[in-house]
């Protein structure tokens, strides 16, 4: 192999020249240029010159777009996104994976389009969690719009777990309820019931008994949930809260139904009860000191 064919700098220069119009070149040769960009990207990666490899992959993606090959354009964008993560260029990570997703959508492929967004979200969880949430949300929506809700279950859980990490418990519960709704559409009853129980536990952990009770009442109208182990577990938890019985809450939190939930939810359940149980009991009218006098009808 000659030095010019292995030197990424020369490959890039040659490719750039092929894409520029001049008096002697009236049409850009994107096909030849794209092949050179791809060779340069690999050579830069081999040299561990990641910044230049990222730029080469981005140009290779542009080339594939110009020659009407969105699938390969998406693949190169994902490669650029992975390198951006290694370089800690978090804004670029989101941009590259979103653009990759757009190319996959041009191919009519919702699954890889969603996967690209999920990869970006996973890469950003620690450094840009709010953007990661948006990516997870969009990834779920792509599958929902294509009637592939069952493929989104792990994404709902990932988003919910990230919300728990951010201590945004209502949002976390909402994603588990969204999972439950999606599971209902594809008759995945076990996943549906797990989603409902997870939401109830998260509300209880956030010491929002009223919302937990409302959530339970709403979910109890779903036939599949009514006869489930998850329903019975939720009933025991809520009844123990109503009685202000901390020991019973702890026993209920050890149930088999909870053991089969996501590990993040299990950890929350093991920490129950949180907050002032007597305050809940008082709010429910169980400890207000005013007992009903059956002879007093005024």
**Strand (E) or helix (H) holding 38:** helix 30-46
Q: With bands split at pLDDT 50, 70 and 90, how would you rate the model's confidence at 273?
A: very high
For residues 214 and 295, which has the higher predicted lDDT (pLDDT)? 214
- 3-state secondary structure string across 207-223: CCHHHHHHHHHHHCCCH
Q: What is the pLDDT of residue 289?
A: 43
C-alpha 190, offset from chain centre: 20
pLDDT at 247 over 80: yes
Return all residues near 237 (Cβ < 8 A) that are at least 6 apart. Answer: 200, 201, 204, 249, 252, 253, 272
Nearby residues of 156 by Cβ (< 8 Å), 6 or more positions away:
140, 175, 176, 178, 179, 182, 195
Q: What is the largest CA-CA distance in the chain?
A: 107
**Confidence grade of residue 290 (pLDDT, cut at 50, 70, 90):** very low
- What value does the mean pLDDT of the chain take? 92
Q: What is the dihedral of CA 29, 34, 36, 40, to 10 degrees?
A: 150
For residue 286, pLDDT beyond 70: no
φ, ψ of residue 112 in degrees (nearest 5): -65, -30
Give whole-number Cα distances, 95 to 81, 90, 239, 244, in Å.
8, 9, 48, 50
List Cβ neighbours of 32 (8 Å cut-off, separation of 6 or more): 15, 18
Which SS3 state, helix, strand or coil, does residue 24 take?
coil
What pLDDT does 285 receive?
65
Contact 191, 179 (CB under 8 A): yes
Judged against a pLDDT cut of 70, whether residue 3 lies above it is answered with no
Q: What is the pLDDT of residue 294?
A: 43
- Report whether pLDDT(282) > 90: no
Distance CA 236, CA 296 (A): 34
Closest of 96, 97, 144, 145 to residue 118, by C-alpha = 97
Give the pLDDT band (50/70/90) at residue 297: very low
What is the model's pLDDT at position 275? 79
Rounded (10°) angle between helices 90-106 and 129-145: 10
For residue 90, the model assigns a pLDDT of 96
Per-residue pLDDT tens over the stretch 9-46: 999 999 999 999 776 667 899 999 999 999 999 999 99
Work out the end-to-end distance of the chain between its first and last CA atoms, rounded to an integer number of angstroms. Answer: 102
Q: What confidence tens digit (pLDDT) does each residue in 45-68 have?
A: 999 999 999 999 999 999 999 999
**Token pair of 295, please?**
């002879």
State both tokens at 148. Answer: 């592939």
Positive/negative CA dihedral, 201, 202, 208, 210: negative
pLDDT in tens, 223-235: 899 999 999 999 9
* Residue 5 host element (H or E): helix 3-6
The encoded tokens of residue 103 equal 């190319």
Nearest to 56 by CA among 42, 71, 37: 37
The tokens describing 238, both together, are 């809520």
Rounded mean pLDDT, 123-131? 97
């Amino acid at each position: 192999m000659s030095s010019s064919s292995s030197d990424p700098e020369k490959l890039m220069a040659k490719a750039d020249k092929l894409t520029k119009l001049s008096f002697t070149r009236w049409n850009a040769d994107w096909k030849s240029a794209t092949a050179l960009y791809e060779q340069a990207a690999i050579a830069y990666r081999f040299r561990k010159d990641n910044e230049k490899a990222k730029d080469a992959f981005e140009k290779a993606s542009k080339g594939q777009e110009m020659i009407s090959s969105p699938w390969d354009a998406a693949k190169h964008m994902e490669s650029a996104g992975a390198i951006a993560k290694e370089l800690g260029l978090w804004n670029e990570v989101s941009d590259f994976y979103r653009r990759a997703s757009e190319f996959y959508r041009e191919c009519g492929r919702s699954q890889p389009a969603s996967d690209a967004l999920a990869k970006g979200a996973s890469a950003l969880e620690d450094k840009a969690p709010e953007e990661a949430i948006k990516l997870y949300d969009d990834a779920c929506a792509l599958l929902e719009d294509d009637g592939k809700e069952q493929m989104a279950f792990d994404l709902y859980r990932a988003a919910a777990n990230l919300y728990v990490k951010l201590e945004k418990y209502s949002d976390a519960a909402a994603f588990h309820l969204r999972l439950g709704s999606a599971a209902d559409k594809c008759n995945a009853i076990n996943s549906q019931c797990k989603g409902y129980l997870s939401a109830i536990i998260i509300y209880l952990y956030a010491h929002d008994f009223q919302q937990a009770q409302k959530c339970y009442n709403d979910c109890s109208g779903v036939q599949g949930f009514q006869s489930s182990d998850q329903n019975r577990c939720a009933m025991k938890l809520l009844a123990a809260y109503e009685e202000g019985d901390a020991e019973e809450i702890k026993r209920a939190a050890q149930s088999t139904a909870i053991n089969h939930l996501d590990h993040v939810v299990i950890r929350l359940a093991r920490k129950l009860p949180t907050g002032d149980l007597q305050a809940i009991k008082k709010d429910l009218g169980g400890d207000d000191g005013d007992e009903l006098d059956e002879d007093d009808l005024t």
